[in-house]
């Protein structure tokens, strides 16, 4: 079938502002949008630029706005989006070229929430693993799935308004550690998130949850962080 793809184009070395270019290509309904972009790049216009690597929704490279909503180009098929497709870069980050945005601010926010395991207590004496029950492990399973694709953060109206907001992705990462029974720095993370640019900036708009390609219930995770902050209970 023929699909019409309208793509946001911006060449930083030539253009003052972006514009849209429409391509008509043959595609199969089971093709990924990424396949179509690859085809356009390969056959129609080599200058089209976008990031991609794994091609099956696991590396987080190719988050972009497809028909007005953040998704991974490799995890959405033509049959899901129809034959009239608009592809635009993520909102709220600087556009470097075409569909490529500057990810640095996103990773900077991630780094603010102490995104690593902290436990300075001595290891078990036998040198084996720290024990954790299956229930304790299940407590934070959801948020271990994050692939840092930024689809959530760049769909959040609070983040659009103000890039200082740590954003849902950073809070998801914080959640993964706060509720890990083996981690000892939950308090420090909550203190960071209690600041003005932390969880207070989330107004439960749900765009993030809906955008997450890993189907993480982000708003719920943020809510759990807010309640941990309120009640001090980490179980």
What value, to the nearest 5°, has the Cα angle with vertex 62 and ends 61 and 68?
145
Tokens 């190719």 correspond to 62
Of the residues 14, 17, 128, 203, which one makes contact with ligand HEM according to CB under 6 A: 203
Residue 78 binding result from ligand SF4, ligand HEM, ligand F3S, none, given CB thresholds of 5 to 8 Å by partner type: none
Alpha-carbon distance of 74 to 14, in angstroms, equals 29
Q: Does 85 bind ligand FES (CB under 6 A)?
A: no
Decide if 85 contacts 95 (C-beta within 8 A).
Answer: no
Of the residues 7, 23, 61, 142, which one makes contact with ligand FES according to CB under 6 A: 61
Instruction: Give a three-class secondary structure readout of 111-173.
Output: HHCCCCCCCCCCCCCCCCCCCCCHHHHHHCCHHHHCCCCCCCHHHCHHHHHCCCCCHHHHHHH
Radius of gyration of the chain (CA): 20
Q: Does 216 bind ligand FES (CB under 6 A)?
A: no
Which C-beta is closer to ligand F3S: that of 40 or that of 168? 168
Which C-beta is closer to ligand SF4: that of 139 or that of 173? 173
Of the residues 204, 206, 215, 232, which one makes contact with ligand HEM according to CB under 6 A: 204
Of the residues 2, 46, 121, 125, which one makes contact with other proteins according to CB under 8 A: 46
Closest CB to ligand HEM: residue number: 203
The binding site for ligand HEM (CB under 6 A) comprises 203-204
């Amino acid at each position: 079938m023929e699909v019409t793809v309208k793509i946001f184009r911006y060449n930083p070395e030539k253009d003052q502002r972006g514009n849209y270019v429409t391509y008509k290509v043959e595609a199969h309904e089971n093709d990924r949008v990424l396949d179509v972009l690859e085809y356009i790049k390969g056959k129609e216009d080599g200058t089209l630029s976008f990031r991609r690597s794994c091609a099956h929704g696991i590396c987080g490279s190719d988050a972009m706005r497809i028909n007005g909503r953040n998704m991974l180009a490799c995890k959405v098929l033509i049959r899901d989006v129809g034959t009239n497709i608009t592809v635009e870069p993520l909102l709220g980050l600087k556009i470097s070229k075409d569909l490529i945005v500057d990810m640095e601010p996103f990773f900077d926010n991630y780094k603010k929430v102490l995104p690593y395991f902290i436990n300075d207590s001595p290891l078990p004496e036998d040198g084996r693993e720290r024990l954790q029950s299956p229930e304790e492990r299940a407590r934070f399973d959801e948020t271990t799935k994050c692939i840092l694709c930024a689809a959530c953060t760049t769909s959040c109206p609070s983040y659009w308004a103000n890039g200082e907001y740590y954003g849902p992705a950073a809070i998801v990462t914080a959640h993964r550690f706060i509720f890990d029974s083996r981690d000892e720095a939950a308090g420090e993370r909550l203190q960071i998130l209690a600041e003005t640019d932390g969880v207070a900036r989330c107004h439960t708009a749900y765009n993030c949850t809906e955008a997450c390609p890993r189907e993480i219930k982000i708003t719920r995770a943020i809510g759990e962080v807010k309640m941990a902050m309120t009640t001090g209970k980490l179980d």
